[in-house]
Structure 1
Amino acid sequence: MYKNILMPIDGSPCSEQAVRHGLELAKALSAKVHFLYVLENPAQAIWITPESVPYGLELLEDLKRVGEEAVGKALNLAREMGVEATGEVKEGLPVPTIVEESARHDLLVMGTHGRTGLDKLLLGSVTEGVLHRTKTPTLVVRCR
């Protein structure tokens, strides 16, 4: 039924819980997994002056390194569990990038913190944004 599973990750403990859950499911189904870390360019989110450009580029490189480490950690866990997996760091806006990638998979597995109230308003929810836009069946892992 599900042979290609997409697992967006962000390196957080919540994301790691979702990865473990998704990998257990993938192993049971003999499915392949693709990990996706979406790197949002900080230049798009904050105001950058000409003087701060070198720092912005350094920040972007640091963020890429964090993404690559998260993907590497997830790939190692998949290998340990005997699940075939690939992974990538892709630059873009998280929700549309995940939705676009999800169209090429049978199942999407994501974690959520389950924020409510002011936290939800201020921090938003990538998972909720994806749920409202994707047509791919989605398993949401509520984190402790």
Structure 2
Amino acid sequence: MYKRVLMPTDGSACSLAAIREGLEVAKTLGAEVTFLYVLENPTGLWMAPESGAYVQELVQDLKTAGQTALSEAEKLAKEAGVPSSGKLREGNATATIVDEAKNYDLLVMGTHGRTGLDKLLLGSVTEGVLHRTNRPVLVVRSR
């Protein structure tokens, strides 16, 4: 039934909780897992001309954080005995995850469960994916 599982991660404790749950499901089903880290381009945020010199350094730092998150996820998969791979993509997180999801049977995502002003200001990638994908999504709420 579910043989290919996509697990987006941002490296947060919430994402790691979802990965741990998702790996248990994948192991039970004999599924393979792909971890996805989406690097959102920060250049639109840096409008001042003097900040341009720092954008490349910031992008490299974000890529390093993404590789670290993927490495940690793949380490957990290896320990669980689940075949896995990692992908780092650039773009809007919600749109990129929805696009990638077309190639998978199941998505596993974490959510912080924010409400009110926090939700309004910080948004929810998981909620955006839920509204835009036709794939099943297992949502793991952060404790």
Class of the TM-score when normalised by the shorter of the 2 chains? over 0.9
Matches within 5 A, 1:13-92: 13-44=13-44, 46-92=45-91
Alignment RMSD: 0.8
Deviation at 1:68, TM superposition (A): 0.2
- For 1:114, the aligned partner's letter is G
Deviation at 1:48, TM superposition (A): 2.9
**Count of residue correspondences:** 143
Aligned partners of 1:123 and 1:50: how far apart in 2?
26
Q: Is the 8 A contact 1:4 1:33 kept in 2?
A: yes
Q: Secondary structure at the match of 2:68?
A: helix
Deviations 1:60-92 (A, max 9, x none): 000000000000000011011100000011110
Deviation at 1:49, TM superposition (A): 3.1
Task: Extract unaligned runs of 5+ from structure 2.
Answer: none
Deviation at 1:52, TM superposition (A): 1.9
Task: Extract unaligned runs of 5+ from structure 1.
Answer: none
Q: Is the 8 A contact 1:48 1:56 kept in 2?
A: no
Deviation at 1:43, TM superposition (A): 0.4
Report the TM-score, using the length of structure 2 for normalisation: 0.98
Percent of paired sites with the same residue: 62
Aligned partners of 2:93 and 2:135: how far apart in 1?
16
